[in-house]
A and B are shown apart, each in its own frame.
Chain A
């Protein structure tokens, strides 16, 4: 019953909100005569909007409480007789299961959803269809919770699909120009859903007719050395990676980001979709299948490539949301890399005659925990960053970095939260992003292959580039002189509702980093065990998160941390010293021109990395032509169009031609039947 209660809370609340909106809309109102959005006043349905927002926040709070209860005390698996569906040759049970991995995802999803809903109370207040937004958010959250708790492929696929539809509907609620992006999102994720369905069908088919469709039937028994199972695994992985936004199916993330409402993006592509995708990847890679070493290597390469290429795209963006979207893609790389490393080590261990050794199990655990912890951390800091962007957008009305600047005074809370989240995503100790990346690095170091070292270098380099691009963001948005889109004056422009979400997320970033050891021990290690990782011999200890029982193994991050902190202190000293120097301050003199305006002296950060863009090799990579070559959606569009043109040429519209085709087909059919 616990499962049904948890899922039905957002489901029912969403239905209530939607019905309220339908009833409220049908009533004629005088204010409707005025086009909404004119004059900046609140739109006509503001009472309705407030009511639906209140319902949504309450429902999310209830969901969060239930999720916490479920996490603390996971209920038993439901498999009652009346949930059995009998379809003659196939019988299956609509069962739920709450192990440590599922409940971790549920907890994170409910927490983020609650904060984003709080934030949306203010952010969506002026949207003409705000109640619909809340209804769809509630339903999507219900679908995500169902997918995370399902112990049945049918439930999983259906919930997965509902989440896709919810994302599409929510993205298309933004600017009308965002329709193309929404369509792209729907097309790519729809393709991913088909892949998932095909993979499930192939897997179930190989398992026999009387299968219960249970997610976990024989643990790790599906060796991907069998070609059919390998194809099934690849198909399901494609679905997981597309949902999480890893390359090469990542292109929907930036396309959807630009015109969708900011809370939508903070909620779904940045947080919940990542949770779902990585959850499925962890489930199938370690529990359902026994992945072979070549496939695991492919996962590692995908992870490393995603980290590097996406972050390089992020560096050169001029639109804040698009930049953050590329970072959302880039961060998936660390999770996929962690999972791939763990799968590779386990595959090597299984292939060797004496099985998985303790050292290999330890490396796999470290890498997997890194990936999984990064999933959790990413949801926190990426959510915080998108809320920061939304807060900026509310004040200025634009996301163009060239027109922003000097907003630290008017948005101090946003600024501080943005700095914390930016440092967390860049992996600066002692924040949470550092700990999870550290674990992934350790896994890559210990995996003991050349490719592991390459992945390590790429991951570290990607992390450095992340920091570089966030320096650009922080400078262009918050520092420097006032941008052209920023309103005059230093008055505080924070909104309380929006600040709460950001502050909580930023505090969580700091908290999970500072108490990383207990956090990993309580949250991540049980989840790793539930996913089928041999965690024996590993315990959460010290600040670094994990330690091998019995000493040797992990590098302690303390030295690196001390060095970094030392660097920061030295930097501060240099800064203080330069402040102490006497500097002659004079007015600018530009040949008698008026030089007092901020606009004249506005230096945006967007050109920090123009040099990189113009480097010989990278120039071709960054060009539009190569962007198209990297985008499967556009490739399919172009070659699909060629196919359509060919088919059009065949359609002459002549009766005689169609009749000839029919007769030829008939002749072929008769010949085949006669000869066969």
Chain B
């Protein structure tokens, strides 16, 4: 495993942590936190796929065209991919609204059952 793989591995670890919280935690608030961690892990992974590791000793290039059309080819060859970044911005906003919705649902559940313990909410039992 090269050193470049380490961020990916850490992201994956984050994702598994989120899944673990969703599956294993009984407290609804912890489950929601798990969902959010999962969300962030996915965002991070997307950004990572667009990242371009610069040659040693140099800083990564931001995808901003300053020198006119003449530099466009060079910039495209060296800069970080902007599309995942733009999409992840949208995804963060969506994640926020999802979080708001889930929290609202959790509040309603608390009002109905008087607890955040999911084991006590078993109306789906066959």
Give chain A's interface residues, CB within 8 Å of chain B.
Answer: 647-656, 658-660, 663
Q: How far is the CA of A663 from the CA of B15 in the complex (A)?
A: 12
CB pair B122 A654 closer than 8 Å: yes
Contacts of A650 in B (CB 8 A): 126
Contacts of B125 in A (CB 8 A): 651-653
Q: How far is the CA of A305 from the CA of B125 in the complex (A)?
A: 46
Q: B24, B119, B123, B126: which has the most chain A beta carbons within 10 Å?
A: B126
CB pair B23 A660 closer than 8 Å: yes
> 9 interchain pairs (CB within 8 A)?
A648-B126, A653-B124, A654-B122, A656-B23, A656-B24, A656-B26, A656-B118, A659-B23, A663-B23
Q: Distance (Å) between the CB of B62 and the closest chain A CB?
A: 33
Q: How far is the CA of A519 from the CA of B81 in the complex (A)?
A: 89
Q: Distance (Å) between the CB of A600 and the closest chain B CB?
A: 58
Contacts of B124 in A (CB 8 A): 651, 653, 658
Q: Distance (Å) between the CB of B97 and the closest chain A CB?
A: 21
Give chain B's interface residues, CB within 8 Å of chain A.
Answer: 19, 22-26, 31, 118-119, 121-126
15 other A-B residue contacts (CB within 8 Å) besides A651-B124, A659-B22, A663-B19: A648-B126, A651-B126, A652-B122, A652-B125, A653-B122, A654-B119, A654-B122, A655-B31, A655-B118, A656-B22, A656-B26, A658-B124, A659-B23, A660-B23, A663-B23
Contacts of A648 in B (CB 8 A): 126
Contacts of B123 in A (CB 8 A): 653
Q: How far is the CA of A658 from the CA of B122 in the complex (A)?
A: 12
Q: Distance (Å) between the CB of A214 and the closest chain B CB?
A: 48
Q: How far is the CA of A650 from the CA of B25 in the complex (A)?
A: 20
Q: Distance (Å) between the CB of A668 and the closest chain B CB?
A: 15
Contacts of B25 in A (CB 8 A): 656
Q: How far is the CA of A648 from the CA of B125 in the complex (A)?
A: 8
Contacts of A649 in B (CB 8 A): 126
Q: A647, A650, A653, A658: which has the most chain B beta carbons within 10 Å?
A: A653
Q: How far is the CA of A651 from the CA of B124 in the complex (A)?
A: 7
CB pair B118 A647 closer than 8 Å: no
- In the complex, the chain B residue whose C-beta lies closest to that of A663 is B19
- In the complex, the chain A residue whose C-beta lies closest to that of B26 is A656
Q: How far is the CA of A227 from the CA of B52 in the complex (A)?
A: 59
Q: How far is the CA of A650 from the CA of B124 in the complex (A)?
A: 11
- In the complex, the chain A residue whose C-beta lies closest to that of B34 is A659
Tell me the number of A-to-B contacts counted with CB atoms below 8 Å. Answer: 33
Looking at the complex, which one of B19, B121, B126 makes contact with A655 (CB distance below 8 Å)?
A: B121
Contacts of A651 in B (CB 8 A): 124-126
Contacts of A660 in B (CB 8 A): 23
- In the complex, the chain B residue whose C-beta lies closest to that of A649 is B126
Q: How far is the CA of A649 from the CA of B126 in the complex (A)?
A: 7
Contacts of B24 in A (CB 8 A): 656
CB pair A647 B121 closer than 8 Å: no
Q: Distance (Å) between the CB of B106 and the closest chain A CB?
A: 12
Q: How far is the CA of A267 from the CA of B13 in the complex (A)?
A: 72
Q: Distance (Å) between the CB of B121 and the closest chain A CB?
A: 7
Q: How far is the CA of A655 from the CA of B31 in the complex (A)?
A: 10
Q: How far is the CA of A647 from the CA of B19 in the complex (A)?
A: 25
Q: How far is the CA of A654 from the CA of B23 in the complex (A)?
A: 10
Q: How far is the CA of A652 from the CA of B124 in the complex (A)?
A: 7
Contacts of B121 in A (CB 8 A): 653, 655
Q: How far is the CA of A653 from the CA of B121 in the complex (A)?
A: 8
Q: How far is the CA of A653 from the CA of B23 in the complex (A)?
A: 13
Q: How far is the CA of A420 from the CA of B123 in the complex (A)?
A: 64
- In the complex, the chain A residue whose C-beta lies closest to that of B22 is A659
Q: Distance (Å) between the CB of A648 and the closest chain B CB?
A: 4
CB pair B126 A654 closer than 8 Å: no
Q: How far is the CA of A655 from the CA of B23 in the complex (A)?
A: 8
Q: Distance (Å) between the CB of B103 and the closest chain A CB?
A: 16
Q: Distance (Å) between the CB of B42 and the closest chain A CB?
A: 13
Q: How far is the CA of A66 from the CA of B6 in the complex (A)?
A: 86
Q: How far is the CA of A650 from the CA of B31 in the complex (A)?
A: 22
- In the complex, the chain A residue whose C-beta lies closest to that of B119 is A654
Q: How far is the CA of A655 from the CA of B22 in the complex (A)?
A: 9
Q: How far is the CA of A511 from the CA of B124 in the complex (A)?
A: 67
Q: Distance (Å) between the CB of A545 and the closest chain B CB?
A: 61
Contacts of A656 in B (CB 8 A): 22-26, 118
Q: How far is the CA of A659 from the CA of B26 in the complex (A)?
A: 12
Q: How far is the CA of A53 from the CA of B52 in the complex (A)?
A: 87
Contacts of B23 in A (CB 8 A): 656, 659-660, 663
CB pair B19 A654 closer than 8 Å: no
Q: B23, B25, B26, B122: which has the most chain A beta carbons within 10 Å?
A: B23
- In the complex, the chain B residue whose C-beta lies closest to that of A651 is B126
Q: Distance (Å) between the CB of B27 and the closest chain A CB?
A: 11
Q: Distance (Å) between the CB of A251 and the closest chain B CB?
A: 30
Q: How far is the CA of A653 from the CA of B126 in the complex (A)?
A: 7
Q: Distance (Å) between the CB of B39 and the closest chain A CB?
A: 15
- In the complex, the chain A residue whose C-beta lies closest to that of B25 is A656
Contacts of B118 in A (CB 8 A): 654-656
Q: How far is the CA of A655 from the CA of B24 in the complex (A)?
A: 10
Q: A647, A652, A655: which has the most chain B beta carbons within 10 Å?
A: A655
Q: How far is the CA of A658 from the CA of B123 in the complex (A)?
A: 13
Q: How far is the CA of A334 from the CA of B121 in the complex (A)?
A: 61
Contacts of A647 in B (CB 8 A): 126
Contacts of B19 in A (CB 8 A): 663
- In the complex, the chain A residue whose C-beta lies closest to that of B31 is A655
- In the complex, the chain A residue whose C-beta lies closest to that of B125 is A653
Q: Distance (Å) between the CB of B37 and the closest chain A CB?
A: 14
Q: Distance (Å) between the CB of B110 and the closest chain A CB?
A: 15
Q: Distance (Å) between the CB of B118 and the closest chain A CB?
A: 5
Q: How far is the CA of A650 from the CA of B126 in the complex (A)?
A: 8
Q: How far is the CA of A652 from the CA of B118 in the complex (A)?
A: 12
Q: Distance (Å) between the CB of B8 and the closest chain A CB?
A: 16
Q: How far is the CA of A663 from the CA of B19 in the complex (A)?
A: 8
- In the complex, the chain B residue whose C-beta lies closest to that of A648 is B126
Q: Distance (Å) between the CB of A340 and the closest chain B CB?
A: 46
